[in-house]
């Protein structure tokens, strides 16, 4: 047997080593065995372990690899770092007894600052000067709301695809084509000419960045971990973008030029003006009726071809706004004079109605320096208090709903979109090439041509329904404005009516109704904005863009904006209605909302010795004034014999209704289903010809029409049938149809209004994070009641301020001060908001640092 | 004894390193510890697994208790397991444990064992 074979067998361990017989042989054998044992240690076992090592090492690497990268779009976060208790979401699970005390040393500060957090985590900021004040405001906004600021400004700029991927490219294109960044740049260039304003915005930006620089992988806000991206440096441009986001929310959806153009093609001008009236019969305007307006010096000329090219042009348009703003982005505010209050001091109230979200759009703060002291809600992403009060005055805002955006038809010379026909020449267009970065994909490019009117919103490259020869450019007041923030800087410091007027007069877009009350006893309201002085009918439809005659020829002088000061009746209110009645000498189209104003006037005019509790109740009032006027018309015309058993039952129920649309109201559910059914029966046959997104005439308009004409200009008849339907037929058939739906709803146990409506407040990422939402909230109301809670839209802040010697202020918003979903302050105020409860707002004094309401203190120092 | 010691070392060391390093440092620690304190494959896997599993379990449980399960309930909804903080903590620890376990196992095969 050869040595090699033996060795091999031994290696395999199958046979024992044979011992030799002589010494020499034994010695050789021993040496050989030593060698084999040595080999065993260094070679033989490793070879045996190599395979399992490779296997387990590969498994380890593979595990790490898989856990270190996103799994599909549904789970965009790498699971390893997300689950790790040391870096992932667990790090955002804030101790419910978290200690917010701290001290921050900032080189750039001019002095020292103190922040006192109260039990609701509202910061009371005391700084030595304005710049430090806004630095600290920026720092706190970032500390508690960074993701919100970041995602909102990315959305404004049209950069959502960077985070969300290809699905958001069309949205980003729409934002860029609307000129959002262009308008923010224009505002920024105005800010940069004002050294003091620039210093404030820069301090704010530095504050935000100072906080961002403290972030580590584990302290990143939760949403960054979920979406797997990182915050970038804040800039003054981002602050300007946030102001433009508000402009878009409140003044971009207040026109209906595209649908109106299509309606013009199917309606006579008389029908159009009656179905979509400029001045509703039942309007209670913001400026009391009977106000005398000065005669204007209109400088405009109506185009000579207006009839043929504009009013009676039957052209329709195939584009529509794919991302419409909520048309109920509205609000209530009112001011009551001391003559009507129990205390003898004015009371100011405000509740802005916006999309409700977690975190809330608002962040509550007190901002104080030796020369100014203000309390209220702020918009994370911008400095200043937006709605609030100081030691002399209080103010609140509602949206003006004015149309400040028009479309013009552009004729390009060719597909390059470099020249367009204007005043009989080919005029060169400026082009902006938009690079849209897309997550996990190569960038998308979009060329936007800028005309004399503004950017081209729709052309062959965006929305394939438009040809090059009839592209649409958009003109919007938000494109060129000054610094809207300056108004709030000044309001924060205004001490009387004149300073309030001085503060707001430069405010251009979005047009707002600034309600005002002062400790000196004044109440006032101004509808303030920069509004075009339009000729009758200008800008209701798409306008020809081939010559200058259809351009805006001037603006309404600021001093002639609708306003009122200390009226005899002792109160002023606004609720998104038309600001003035038909005697106002300007053409002011808009998407006004009429009913809430009527309800507020109805209640306020009957009240005396008003207390803050009365005002809180009024903000939470559910009375459906429109239903109280429209239902009697339905009752009058209904044919009970034509009703099904079910319909009779619901008719009986709704007849007992007290018109209160509270959460438990059954009448409101029946009314709403019945009304929707009636609206469909009356309008759909005619108006659907103008496109599926055509808005039906307002509920208000239907009520007014039916009161004077039961055929509603013939619209009650269904044009698709040979017979002529009457109102009696339509309301009866509609109730039968509604009853079927209601029976189903009742079987599911959802007949009560809040169960039917299912109000919810979603996280900013909406349906992607359903478990971050607050759903099934027991809250009533609708867009037409004073407490205007819809499905996830409504009073985003409720404030009542009584201007007694020591201000008594109350407020609540449906959210919490901390944007972190892992904090107990994420949604801690929602329940009180649902129940209509308020917190007393504490205007802290500098010497109250020892007050028991102070829970935590953050010190900012320069060294 | 050595077995419990290596669990403890892996747990404590990976916690300390994890304060500064990325999440996958748990694998590096488990690997290095078993290179230095050799163990047979099964023991090595269990030390790595239990070292990380227990460390993550303890840390996540502490955080979750202090947080009253506020966030665990929301994340449970996001990950499709509902409001079940205990299950979420278990899943978390299991993921960490597996990574630690396989890293330790690899080290055991590389280093050899008696």
DSSP reduced 3-state for A569? coil
Q: Which residue of A has its CA nearest to B30?
A: A60
- A468 domain residue, yes or no: no
- A238 domain residue, yes or no: no
Residue A839 has pLDDT above 60, yes or no: yes
CATH number at residue A660: 1.10.1400
Residue from B14, B35, B75, B101 whose CB has the most chain A CBs within 10 Å, to mutate: B75
Of the candidates A735, A757, A779, which is a domain's last residue? Answer: A757
Contact A87 B23 (CB under 8 A): yes
Using alpha carbons only, what angle is made at residue A794 by residues A792 and A799, rounded to the nearest 5 degrees? 140
- A576 domain residue, yes or no: no
Cβ-Cβ contacts under 8 Å, A97 against chain B: 66
From the CA atom positions of chain A, what is the Rg in Å? 34
Using alpha carbons only, what angle is made at residue A98 by residues A92 and A104, rounded to the nearest 5 degrees? 90
Nearest to A729 by CA among A704, A707, A711, A705: A711
Average pLDDT for B52-70? 97
Question: Could you read off the pLDDT of A286-329 as tens digits, one per residue?
Answer: 999 999 999 988 878 999 999 988 998 888 887 878 787 777 77
- A720 domain residue, yes or no: yes
Residue A520 — φ and ψ, nearest 5°? -75, 0
How distant is the Cα of A89 from the closest Cα of chain B, in angstroms? 8
Residue A6 has pLDDT above 50, yes or no: no
CB A562 within 8 A of CB A577: no
CB B64 within 8 A of CB B74: no
Average pLDDT for A191-209? 97
- Name the residue among A53, A90, A94 with its Cβ closest to that of B109: A53
CB A793 within 8 A of CB A356: yes
Average pLDDT for A385-410? 97
Question: Could you read off the pLDDT of A524-572 as tens digits, one per residue?
Answer: 999 999 999 999 999 999 999 998 999 999 999 999 999 999 999 999 9
pLDDT at A690: 84
Question: Could you read off the pLDDT of A783-800 as tens digits, one per residue?
Answer: 999 999 999 999 999 999
Cβ-Cβ contacts under 8 Å, B56 against chain A: 84-85
Q: Determine the Cα–Cα distance for residues A330 and A574; give it in Å rounded to an integer.
A: 10
Residue A466 has pLDDT above 80, yes or no: no
Question: Could you read off the pLDDT of B19-30 as tens digits, one per residue?
Answer: 999 999 999 999
Average pLDDT for A449-477? 86
pLDDT band at A27 (very low <50, low <70, confident <90, very high): low
How distant is the Cα of B10 from the closest Cα of chain A, in angstroms? 15
A9-23, A111-125, A433-447, A723-737: range with lowest mean pLDDT: A9-23
Q: List A544's β-bridge partners, or say none.
A: A409
Nearest to A417 by CA among A472, A362, A349: A472
- The contacts of residue A283 (CB under 8 Å, 6+ apart) are A577, A578, A581, A594, A597, A598
pTM, rounded to two decimals: 0.92
Contact B67 A86 (CB under 8 A): no
Q: Determine the Cα–Cα distance for residues A805 and A161; give it in Å rounded to an integer.
A: 52
pLDDT at A10: 42
Of the candidates A738, A757, A776, which is a domain's last residue? Answer: A757
CB A625 within 8 A of CB A784: yes
The whole domain housing A695 covers: 625-757
Question: Could you read off the pLDDT of A120-153 as tens digits, one per residue?
Answer: 999 999 999 999 999 999 999 999 999 999 999 9
- A766 domain residue, yes or no: no
Contact A95 B19 (CB under 8 A): no
Burial class, A40, CB count within 10 angstroms (exposed 0-12 / middle 13-18 / buried 19+): middle
Cβ-Cβ contacts under 8 Å, A772 against chain B: 74, 77-78
Contact B109 A49 (CB under 8 A): yes
Question: Could you read off the pLDDT of B66-106 as tens digits, one per residue?
Answer: 999 999 999 999 999 999 999 999 999 999 999 999 999 99
pLDDT at A23: 62
Residue A764 has pLDDT above 70, yes or no: yes
- The contacts of residue B4 (CB under 8 Å, 6+ apart) are none
Q: Which of residues 16-45 of A touch B (CB under 8 A)?
A: 45
Residue from A39, A40, A73, A86 whose CB has the most chain B CBs within 10 Å, to mutate: A86
From the CA atom positions of chain B, what is the Rg in Å? 15
Percent of chain A with pLDDT over 70: 94
Tell me whether A53 touches chain B (CB under 8 Å). Answer: yes
Residue A842 has pLDDT above 80, yes or no: yes
Residue with tokens 């002399």: A392
Contact A64 B22 (CB under 8 A): no
The DSSP secondary structure of A777-830, one letter per residue, reads ------TTSSS---SSEEES-EEEEE-SSS-EEEEE-SS-S---TTSTTSSTTH
pLDDT at A423: 94
Residue A597 has pLDDT above 70, yes or no: yes
How distant is the Cα of A39 from the closest Cα of chain B, in angstroms? 14
Q: Which of residues 711-770 of A touch B (CB under 8 A)?
A: 769-770
Q: Which uninterrupted H or E stretch holds A105?
A: strand A102-105
Counting the structural domains of chain A, the total is: 2
Residue A364 — φ and ψ, nearest 5°? -85, 140
Residue A21 has pLDDT above 70, yes or no: no
- A700 domain residue, yes or no: yes
A14-18, A120-124, A206-210, A256-260: range with lowest mean pLDDT: A14-18
Q: Determine the Cα–Cα distance for residues A816 and A144; give it in Å rounded to an integer.
A: 10
CB A544 within 8 A of CB A409: yes
pLDDT at A467: 57
pLDDT at A51: 86
How distant is the Cα of A766 from the closest Cα of chain B, in angstroms? 12
Burial class, A74, CB count within 10 angstroms (exposed 0-12 / middle 13-18 / buried 19+): exposed
Contact B102 A46 (CB under 8 A): no
Contact A67 B99 (CB under 8 A): yes
Of the candidates A67, A96, A125, which is a domain's last residue? Answer: A67
Contact A821 B96 (CB under 8 A): no
Q: List A565's β-bridge partners, or say none.
A: A524
- Name the residue among B22, B105, B109 with its Cβ closest to that of A81: B22
Q: Which residue of B has its CA nearest to A52?
A: B109
> Mean pLDDT of all residues in chain A?
92
CB A734 within 8 A of CB A681: yes
How distant is the Cα of A87 from the closest Cα of chain B, in angstroms? 7
Q: Which residue of B has its CA nearest to A84?
A: B23
The four Cα atoms A94, A95, A101, A107 give a dihedral, to 10 degrees, of -30
Cβ-Cβ contacts under 8 Å, A45 against chain B: 112
State both tokens at A386: 């937006």
Residue A366 — φ and ψ, nearest 5°? -110, 130
Query: What was the ipTM of the complex prediction?
Result: 0.97
- The contacts of residue A75 (CB under 8 Å, 6+ apart) are B79
- A324 domain residue, yes or no: no
Cβ-Cβ contacts under 8 Å, B95 against chain A: 67, 79-80, 83
Contact B70 A826 (CB under 8 A): yes
pLDDT at A615: 98
- A680 domain residue, yes or no: yes
Residue with tokens 């200058």: A548
DSSP reduced 3-state for A268? coil
Nearest to A855 by CA among A139, A120, A143: A120
A139-148, A257-266, A482-491, B83-92: range with lowest mean pLDDT: A257-266
Contact B73 A63 (CB under 8 A): no
Q: Determine the Cα–Cα distance for residues A670 and A656; give it in Å rounded to an integer.
A: 11
- Name the residue among A84, A95, A824 with its Cβ closest to that of B23: A84
pLDDT at A30: 67
Using omega within 30 degrees of 0 as the cis cutoff, is the peptide bond preceding A188 cis?
no
Contact B71 A824 (CB under 8 A): no
Nearest to B99 by CA among A21, A63, A51: A63
Contact A83 B92 (CB under 8 A): yes
CA dihedral sign of residues A48, A50, A51, A56 = positive
CB A398 within 8 A of CB A351: no
Relative to beta strand A393-399, strand A387-390 is: antiparallel
pLDDT band at A433 (very low <50, low <70, confident <90, very high): very high
DSSP reduced 3-state for A614? helix
CA-to-CA separations, A304 to A311, A424, A547, in angstroms, rounded:
12, 16, 12
Interface size between A and B, measured as CB pairs under 8 A = 126
Residue A474 has pLDDT above 90, yes or no: yes
Contact A60 B66 (CB under 8 A): no
**A213 phi-psi bin (left φ>0, alpha ψ -120 to 50, beta other):** alpha
Contact A86 B15 (CB under 8 A): yes
Tell me whether A79 touches chain B (CB under 8 Å). Answer: yes
Cβ-Cβ contacts under 8 Å, A83 against chain B: 23, 91-92, 95-96
């Amino acid at each position: 047997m050869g040595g090699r074979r033996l060795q091999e067998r031994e290696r395999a361990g199958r046979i024992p080593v044979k011992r030799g017989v002589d010494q020499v042989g034994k010695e050789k054998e021993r040496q050989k065995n030593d060698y084999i044992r040595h080999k065993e240690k260094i070679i033989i076992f490793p070879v045996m372990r190599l395979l399992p090592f490779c296997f387990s090492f590969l498994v380890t690497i593979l595990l790490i690899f898989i856990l270190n990268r996103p799994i599909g779009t549904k789970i965009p976060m790498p699971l390893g770092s997300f689950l790790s208790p040391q870096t992932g979401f667990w790090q955002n699970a804030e101790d419910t007894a978290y200690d917010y005390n701290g001290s921050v040393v900032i080189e750039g500060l001019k002095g020292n600052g103190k922040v006192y957090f109260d039990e609701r985590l509202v910061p009371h900021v005391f700084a030595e000067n304005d710049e430090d004040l806004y630095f600290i405001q920026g720092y706190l906004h970032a500390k508690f709301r960074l993701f919100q600021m970041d995602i909102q400004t990315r959305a404004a700029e049209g950069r959502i695809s960077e985070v969300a991927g290809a699905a958001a490219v069309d949205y980003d294109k729409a934002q860029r084509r609307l000129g959002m960044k262009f308008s923010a740049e224009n505002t920024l260039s105005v800010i940069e000419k004002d050294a003091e304003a620039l210093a404030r915005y820069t301090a704010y930006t530095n504050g935000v960045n100072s906080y961002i620089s403290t972030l580590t992988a584990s302290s990143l806000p939760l949403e960054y971990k979920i979406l797997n991206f990182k915050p970038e440096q804040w800039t003054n441009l981002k602050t300007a973008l946030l102001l433009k986001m508000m402009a878009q929310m409140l003044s971009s959806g207040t026109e209906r030029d595209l649908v109106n153009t299509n309606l013009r093609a199917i309606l006579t001008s008389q029908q159009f003006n009656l179905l979509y009236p400029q001045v509703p019969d039942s309007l209670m305007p913001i400026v009391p009726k009977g106000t005398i307006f000065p005669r204007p010096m209109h400088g405009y000329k109506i185009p000579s071809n207006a009839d043929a090219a504009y009013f009676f042009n039957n052209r329709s348009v195939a584009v529509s706004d794919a991302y419409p703003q909520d048309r109920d982005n509205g609000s209530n505010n009112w001011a009551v004079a001391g003559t009507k209050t129990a205390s003898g001091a004015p009371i100011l109230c405000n509740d802005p109605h916006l999309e409700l979200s977690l975190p809330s759009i608002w962040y509550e703060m007190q901002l104080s320096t030796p020369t100014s002291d203000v309390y209220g809600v702020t918009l994370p992403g911008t400095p200043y208090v937006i709605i609030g009060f100081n030691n002399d005055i209080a103010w609140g805002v509602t949206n003006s709903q004015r149309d400040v955006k028009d479309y013009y038809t552009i004729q390009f010379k060719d597909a390059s979109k470099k020249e367009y026909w204007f005043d009989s020449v080919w005029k060169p267009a400026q082009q902006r090439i938009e690079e849209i970065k897309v997550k996990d994909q190569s960038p998308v490019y979009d060329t936007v041509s800028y005309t004399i009117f503004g950017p081209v919103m729709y052309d062959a490259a965006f929305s394939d329904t438009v040809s090059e020869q009839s592209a649409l450019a958009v003109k919007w007041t938000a494109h060129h404005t000054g610094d809207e923030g300056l108004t709030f800087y000044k309001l924060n410091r205004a001490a009387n009516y004149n300073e309030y007027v001085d503060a707001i007069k430069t405010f251009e877009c979005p047009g707002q109704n600034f309600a005002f009350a002062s400790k000196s006893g004044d109440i006032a309201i101004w509808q303030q904005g920069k509004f075009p002085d339009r000729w009758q009918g200008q800008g209701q439809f798409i306008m020809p863009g081939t010559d200058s005659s259809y351009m805006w020829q001037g603006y309404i002088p600021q001093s002639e904006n609708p306003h009122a000061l200390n009226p005899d009746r002792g109160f002023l209110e606004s609720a998104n209605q038309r600001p003035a009645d038909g005697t106002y000498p300007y053409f002011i189209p808009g998407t006004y909302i009429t009913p809430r104003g009527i309800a507020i006037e109805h209640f306020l005019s009957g009240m005396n010795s008003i207390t803050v509790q009365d005002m809180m109740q009024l903000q939470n009032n559910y009375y459906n004034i429109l239903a109280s006027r429209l239902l009697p018309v339905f009752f009058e015309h209904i044919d009970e014999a034509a009703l099904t058993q079910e319909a009779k039952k619901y008719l009986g129920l709704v007849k007992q209704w007290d018109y209160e649309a509270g959460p438990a109201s059954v009448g409101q559910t029946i009314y709403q289903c019945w009304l929707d059914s009636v609206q469909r029966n009356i309008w759909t046959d005619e108006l659907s010809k103008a496109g599926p997104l055509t808005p039906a005439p307002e509920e208000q308009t239907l009520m007014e029409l039916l009161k004077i004409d039961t055929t509603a200009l013939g619209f009650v008849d269904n044009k698709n049938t040979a017979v002529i339907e009457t109102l009696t037929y339509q309301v009866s058939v509609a109730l039968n149809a509604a009853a079927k739906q209601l029976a189903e709803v009742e079987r599911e146990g959802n007949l009560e209004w809040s169960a039917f409506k299912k109000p919810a407040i979603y996280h900013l990422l909406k349906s992607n994070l359903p478990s971050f939402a607050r759903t099934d909230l027991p809250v009533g109301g609708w867009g037409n009641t004073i407490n205007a809670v819809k499905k996830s839209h409504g009073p985003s802040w409720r404030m009542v301020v009584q201007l007694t010697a020591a201000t008594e202020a109350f407020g609540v918003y449906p959210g919490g001060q901390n944007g972190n979903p892992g904090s107990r302050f994420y949604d801690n105020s929602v329940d009180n908001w649902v129940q209509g409860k308020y917190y007393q707002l504490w205007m802290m004094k500098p010497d109250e640092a020892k007050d028991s309401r102070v829970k935590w203190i953050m010190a900012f120092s320069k060294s | 004894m050595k077995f419990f010691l290596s669990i403890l070392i892996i747990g404590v060391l990976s916690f300390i390193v994890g304060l500064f390093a990325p999440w996958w440092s748990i694998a590096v620690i488990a690997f290095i510890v078993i290179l230095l304190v050799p163990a047979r494959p099964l023991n090595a896997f269990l030390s790595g697994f239990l070292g990380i599993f227990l460390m993550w379990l303890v840390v996540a449980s502490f955080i979750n208790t202090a947080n009253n399960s506020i966030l665990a309930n929301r994340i449970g909804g996001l990950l499709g397991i509902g409001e079940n903080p205990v299950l979420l903590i278990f899943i978390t620890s299991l993921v960490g444990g597996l990574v630690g376990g396989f890293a330790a196992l690899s080290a055991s095969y590389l280093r050899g064992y008696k």
